[in-house]
Structure 1
Amino acid sequence: MFTRRDFLSAGLAAPLAYAAGSFVPAWAQNAPNLGTPTLPSPGFRRMKLGEIEVISLIDGIARRPLGEEFVKNAPLAEVKALLASQGLATDYIDIPFTPFLVVGGGRRVLMDTGLGEFGGPTTGKLLENLRAAGVQPADIDTVLITHFHGDHINGLRTRAGELVFPNAKVMVPAAEYNFWMDDAKMAAAPEGMKGAFNNVRRVFATMPASTLQRFEAGTELAPGIRSVAAYGHTPGHTLFEVKSAGQTFMFIGDLTNVPALFARNPDWAVTFDMDAEAARKVRREVFARIVSSNAMVGGFHFPFPAFGRMAAAGQGYAFQPMA
């Protein structure tokens, strides 16, 4: 069980700090002096996977300053040098938020939900892009959640508390639910994390039992969709492997944040990883598996359209976007 000392020694207070009076993590809002990220148009992209379709749906982009804290175990100068070598900005980081929709066999399965009504002006675009792709919120029959950080779950409810996807079963990792809904862990957490625990309760505490379903790692959640444990970023962080007609798509959630940094250097730890060493190990294991299987990959924080493949590159991996 996590104690207050465990939380503090892991450096969890700041990374998960929530903005005052809001359910959005402070890091998910733009820094005004850094300009405004440009949102893609259209904000969805379709890909065929065997006999089904996978659609990426951008919820938005947040721009945050790049400081010493972002990569916990590498010098800022080294981080900036790697970004510069790839033609990327070095004074800020753009973080996209991209849920994915799997359509096939009469099913519409949404993976993660974005920030909903709780983010800044360059976020909260999921429903707009879902409709642009020809799908209404009521058409979603299943929502799969990778983990309980606000940018993945806030889109489940409106500010008024109404369920955004009224006909959907919401399936969550049991290990994740058990951690965040544990009153003792919440009591032991530093003040900076109380908002994250409260936010989880806002979303899930009153969700009807007929809607909310907890699953164990390795479970098949829908035909052709299996959960894969990837604990470390959070205690129950889970990936989703989708298979159809011999082809594979892996939605990796927050296995890595900015791929230009944390795929290229899988041993680097982003500030949001709750257990950096576990996250490092599972990141290397999953990337090796993806490369060996030549699976298509989708990352929640990957550059839009967030589809691509991973290739070995030096001591790490390079994300190769698909056009």
Structure 2
Amino acid sequence: MRSVRPARALLAIALAAVLAACSEPAPPPATVDAPPPPMTTADAAPAADSADVHRFKIGTLDAAVLRDGDIRFPNDGKTLGIGAPKAEVDALLTKAGEPTDTVHLSVQALLVRSGDRVLLFDTGAGDADFADAGRLPVSLRAAGVEPAQITDIFISHAHPDHVGGLVDDAGQAVFANATVHLSAPEWQALQADASNAALAAAIAPRVDAFAPGAEVVPGVTAVAVEGHTTGHSAYEIVDGDARLLYIGDGAHHFAVSVQRPQWTIAFDGDAPAAEASREALLARAADSDVTVASPHFPYPGLGRIVRREGSFVWAPLQ
């Protein structure tokens, strides 16, 4: 794996577990008992033009979810639902139509055209050895965009499945004309990590380190989500009355993380803070009825968070 791998001990344990992952494809996600809220014209999505590109609208903005790949790791209590009874974890997975031996996370990026800007939210895992990924360049071109056309990249955080696509095998910046936006605390942490020295050097000339919660560019506002990393950010994209919340790693699994936000996941750097912020983010999404985009939920990862029985459920857009 290239130098973008973080040095956090918990993440290292979790990523090591994926080497034992199975190769069977995960079944399609089960929908919740009640249908999701009706799609509005602003949300309506035409059919995808390829298996790796899912086009939709945010108001008048053209958008697309781009598939990068998949991460799989054993459901052994060391990564997802740490400390929770395995029977309870298995029950949630079974009800959602998921296998109980292996956990599957998608890896996706979000593309948005806004005026003369071409925006990309996260860059996938690249050739990271813990994922079956690296398809973002092909997906991007299938969407009709070349890397040189990207004007702005919004990084949720510096874990390798989100920044792995920033540089190529030679360590050169892939998106040569793009400003790379990430929060100032996240940029400081990335620079302080010796294993990320090459990545930091490659992108430093084009980094915009913003204050947490800032409006980064017109129509895109960062949302601080504490605990996963030092400066993790979700992003809210607004066009008129239409809004979309890109949650980054605010929640990892569409069933377990959403229905049990207080359960620990090994990827979080500060588990208590992450659990509190995860619950707050889900409550915000549910109470505002905003469309959510998750890079790790089943492709294309678009839907809504709905309150149910004292917790939340994921309602994928149909």
Closer, same or farther in 2 for the Cα pair 1:128/1:26, shift >3 Å? farther
Indicate yes or no: 2:199 matched with 1:203.
Answer: yes
Q: Give SS of 2:209's match.
A: strand
Is contact 1:154-1:203 (8 Å) kept?
no
List alignment gaps of at least 5 residues for structure 2: 1-7, 29-49
Equivalent of 1:58, from 67, 78, 81?
67
The residue type paired with residue 31 of structure 1 is A
Give the superposition deviation at 1:17.
Answer: 4.8
The residue type paired with residue 202 of structure 1 is A
Q: Distance in 1 between matches of 2:228 and 2:189?
A: 13
Over the aligned positions, Cα root-mean-square deviation in angstroms equals: 2.0
The residue type paired with residue 248 of structure 1 is R
TM-score of the aligned structures, taking structure 1 as reference length: 0.84
Q: Distance in 2 between matches of 1:306 and 1:206?
A: 30
Equivalent of 2:311, from 311, 316, 320?
316
Indicate yes or no: 2:178 matched with 1:168.
Answer: yes
Indicate yes or no: 2:92 matched with 1:82.
Answer: yes
Q: Distance in 2 between matches of 1:242 and 1:81?
A: 35
| Number of equivalent positions | 289
The residue type paired with residue 90 of structure 2 is K
1:116-155 alignment to 2 at 5 Å? Answer: 116-119=126-129, 122-155=132-165
Q: Give SS of 1:58's match.
A: strand
Is contact 2:215-2:222 (8 Å) kept?
yes
Q: Give SS of 1:154's match.
A: helix
TM-score of the aligned structures, taking structure 2 as reference length: 0.85
Instruction: Give the ranges of 4+ consecutive aligned residues of structure 1 lying more than 4 Å apart after TM superposition.
Output: 38-41
Indicate yes or no: 2:285 matched with 1:276.
Answer: no
Q: Distance in 2 between matches of 1:16 and 1:243?
A: 36
Closer, same or farther in 2 for the Cα pair 1:77/1:155, shift >3 Å? same
What's the counterpart of residue 103 of structure 1? 113
Q: Distance in 1 between matches of 2:137 and 2:27?
A: 15
What's the counterpart of residue 293 of structure 1? 288
What's the counterpart of residue 5 of structure 2? none
Is contact 1:83-1:261 (8 Å) kept?
yes
What's the counterpart of residue 256 of structure 1? 251
Closer, same or farther in 2 for the Cα pair 1:122/1:314, shift >3 Å? same
Closer, same or farther in 2 for the Cα pair 1:315/1:73, shift >3 Å? farther
The residue type paired with residue 23 of structure 2 is G
Give the superposition deviation at 1:39.
Answer: 11
List alignment gaps of at least 5 residues for structure 1: 1-11, 19-24, 183-196
